[in-house]
Structures are given as C-alpha cells and as structure tokens.
Amino acid sequence: MSALKKVAVLGAGVIGAGWIARFAENGVAVSLYDPAENARGKVEAVLANAERAYSKLTMAPRPDMGAITYANSLAEAVADAELVVEAVPEVLELKQRVYAEVEACVAATVIIASSTSGILPTDLQSNMKHPQRLLVAHPFNPVYLLPLVELVGGEQTSTVIIERASEIYDQLGMHPLHIKKEIEAFVADRLLEAVWREGLWLVKDGIATTQEIDDAIRYGFGLRWAQMGMFETYRLAGGEAGMKHFIAQFGPALKWPWSKLTDVPELTDELIETIATQSDAQSGHYSFRELERIRDDNLIAILQALKINNWGAGATLARYEQARFEQVAMSEPEEDIGQPLTTLQRSIPPDWTDYNNHMNESRYLQCFSDATDALMRRIGVDVEYIANSGSYFTVETHIRHLDEVAALQAIVVSTQVLRGEGKKLHLFHRLSHADGTLLATGEHMLIHVSLETRSASEPTAQVLASLRELAEAHAALERPQGCGRAVGDAY
C-alpha cells in the first residue's frame, strides 16, 4: 500500500491536535482548519509534547516531520487530502454540516474519518452523497502515544474503506480494532463508563476519595489490564482450570448488590465540588503541561517494558519500529559507495545522559550497534534473512571517546568497511556531532553465524556480493586514524 502523503484535520481540540501530532511525526503533511483564535497555540503545545515523547519512545529512525499548514477555510484544508479527519464537537448536526462541506470539495474516493467517541456512524453518514466513504476512527488521548483506534463502519460504509483505513492506521504505529457491530460509545468507552460510574458512586457515598480510587486502579488491576486486559486476567484467576472455573467460582457474585452500574448518581453542585476539590488536592500541585509530560513519560516506560516481551501494545510498538527501520533501508538515497556510508542520524534523548547532561558511555556503543545494524540491512541481512539464514555477531569492539555530546543535540555516524570476505566483517564507525566534531570512533569485528547451529558460517552469495562491493569501494580510502589501536596506545 502506498504511504499516506496528506491528511486534513478539521478541529484542533485535544483529539484533533493529537491526530495532527501523530500524522506529522510519521512524515504525513497535515492541513488544519479550525476557526478558533487559539487553535495554533493549542496545536503547538501538543506538538511540543509529541516531539518530546517520540524522542524517548523509539530507537527507530524518525521520518522528517510532516509539514503543518493552518488553512483559512475548510475548502483550503481538504484540497488534495487523501484522508479527512473530523474532530469537531460532539453535535450530530454540526458534524453532518461539515461532511456536506467536505463532500462539495473532494473526490468521492477520499475517506472521511470521524473521531467521535460515541455517535453511531450510520447516523453520521445519513445525509451524505457518498456515505460509503465515512467511518468512525475513535482514538484515545494522548493520540500521539496510545496505539488503540476503534474503527466502526455504518450501514453504508464500504468494507474497502475499512480495510484501507486499517492499513493507514497500522502504518502510523497504531492498533486498529475493527468493531464489527455498531453500538453507542463503541467498546472501550463503554467499559470506561462502567468504571467511571461506579467511581462517582464511591465518591458520593463517601466510600473513597478520588485519589484512593485512582490508587486502587494504578497500584492494582490497572497494571494487569495494561498488559492482559480483563478476560485474560480473569482466565489466570481461574487457575489451571481456566475461565470456566473462574466463572463457576465467581459468577454468582455478579448477582450480589455490589455495584450500582445501572444507576447514575445525580451530579449535584455538592458532588461536583467534592470531586473537583479532591482532584485538586490529588494533583493540583502540578501544572497541566507538567501532568501531561508525567503521563507521557509513564506511558513510554510501560510501552517499552511491554516491547521487551513483545506483548500487547509493546508488540505494536515493536512492529512499528521494525517497519520504520525497513522503510528507511529501502528508501536510502543513492550515495557514493566509495565514501563511508551514513548509517545513523538522530538526536540524543535526555535519558541517554548522565548527571552532567553528557551522553553516557553505554550509549556510544549503542550508536555504533545501531550503525552496524543499518550496514547489515544495507547488504541484505534484514529481518527475513536473520529468520531464515543467519546473522553477524560482534566478537570484538574498540571504542575511542574523543568528545562530549549533550541531550537533544544531533549526531551522525559514518561507517567504513575495512574487510568483507568469507565469514568476517570488519567495520570502522565515526560518530560525529552535527557540526562535524568527531565524538568517538568504534572498530568492530563481526563473524557470520548460522542461527541454526550457532556456529560460524558463510553468508549467502547475495549478501557476500553486496559486502564485497562495499569493501572493494572502501579499499581505496585512507586507513582510519585510530584503527587497530588497543587500550593504552598513545594518542
């Protein structure tokens, strides 16, 4: 599927701005229309949070930021857009008026995706000329970090549109969940509302404060839900006998008068004041932006922890990273292979630094490791090759630390192939600041290994041919300064 190039976002509230950040961070050009005077300021604040989050979220190469245009009219915003994201207030008549304006300006093939959190798509599309193009794509805040997007089609939505939308959101690093039967509020928000309603009763009845309820979630079942959800959690609770045993044991409790899910507490001024006061006491000492960044940092940590186990939302992040690496490898511009190859370009994440705000020693090695991976992909040792043939294992490394680099500063690694024949791969990396200052060098000897026998082996003929081409092209280069040195050699 071809990559999405331009999207129009209508509405710059919390969700609309989050969509803009998600698209732009994935290299998609965004045209925004929102008549509110403060729209640009709201978007820029969210973009700043997203930039901060993505610098920590993934080690994969980030694409160039998609251009963001602030349009003066809806017609200007949707011109040439392949996807129109509607994120206007939750008023059916307003949304329908917006769709009528959009349809007057775009081709019948352009997808319209509503961010509504509960209005049925059949109702949304009821007055449209081309209702088959509309679906709900309901995200979760912060849109630029949380991968879930619920896809819900109406009675007239084309299955082709659902499939195309699923591919688009997958490319954005999201988990598209196709809700196959329409229902108000869809799936996730219905579950959230059940917990929210019970929480309101617990506060109203004086059982627990807002902080105590949040603590019950975040220190308990919230941690389980983050990686297993609800049904899988209860399957484990049933022991080796599984879900049937759990339901047999705890099912009768559902008839006990534990909850008030069918009742709604009256949101009196007194209850609202109680909730607001408790909420302010709970986290009012943080500014709104501080709390957003704390939330983002914690979400990133959870996502990365889940990625280690290739589980849940972490598996989605891992697939996204793999796709980014492969996309970059396939789209590398033609370059003079007679010169060292550019194998890594990135900025330094804040958590790579020590107490002096300088990149710590382990991250120098990581930069060289990532550069080696890029070189391997360049010669054909990609995910498919590793799964079916083998890989290169590092057997010796020598790093010279020559200068310092601080958080958020840009770096680049160039790689020279010193030897590429038989089972051996000898590389020399230069890590430089964006201004050209040499920060470190890394010399690495690698051996090709069969992952079946775990022994040294010959690479495939195709890989060996690609490697020899680079080695022969680099043979004319001067031997790098520092090459072959050992620890303690004079500088």
| Pair of tokens at residue 241 | 């006998």
Contact 321, 58 (CB under 8 A): yes
Q: Do domains 6-186 and 332-474 have the same CATH topology?
A: no
pLDDT tens by residue, 455-470? 999 999 999 999 999 9
Domain at 190-285: CATH code: 1.10.1040.10
For residue 62, the model assigns a pLDDT of 85
Helix, strand, coil percentages for the chain (3-state, nearest 5) = 45, 20, 35
For residue 382, the model assigns a pLDDT of 87
**Distance (Å, whole) CA 285 – CA 290:** 10
Domain at 6-186: CATH code: 3.40.50.720
Please provide residue 114's backbone torsions phi and psi, each rounded to the nearest 5 degrees.
Answer: -90, 140
What residue ranges do the domains of the chain occupy?
A: 6-186, 190-285, 332-474
**Distance (Å, whole) CA 138 – CA 124:** 14
Q: Is the dihedral of CA 212, 214, 219, 224 positive or negative?
A: positive
Per-residue pLDDT of the chain (491 residues; tens, 9 = 90+): 568 999 999 999 999 999 999 999 999 999 999 999 999 999 999 999 999 999 888 877 788 899 999 999 999 999 999 999 999 999 999 999 999 999 999 999 999 999 999 999 999 999 999 999 999 999 999 999 999 999 999 999 999 999 999 999 999 999 999 999 999 999 999 999 999 999 999 999 999 999 999 999 999 999 999 999 999 988 888 888 888 888 888 888 777 777 777 788 898 999 999 989 999 999 989 998 899 989 998 999 899 889 888 999 999 999 998 888 777 666 655 578 899 999 998 888 777 888 888 999 999 999 999 999 999 999 999 888 998 889 999 999 999 999 999 987 889 999 999 999 999 999 999 999 989 999 999 999 999 999 999 999 999 999 999 999 999 999 999 999 889 887 777 55
With CA atoms as reference, report the closest residue to 345 among 244, 414, 420, 290.
414
For residue 487, the model assigns a pLDDT of 79
**Distance (Å, whole) CA 475 – CA 420:** 10
pLDDT tens by residue, 118-149? 999 999 999 999 999 999 999 999 999 999 99
Q: What is the pTM of this model?
A: 0.80
**Distance (Å, whole) CA 415 – CA 262:** 65
State the Rg of the chain over Cα: 27
Q: Is the dihedral of CA 128, 134, 138, 144 positive or negative?
A: negative
| Pair of tokens at residue 472 | 């022969």
Q: Which CATH architecture has domain 332-474?
A: Roll (3.10)
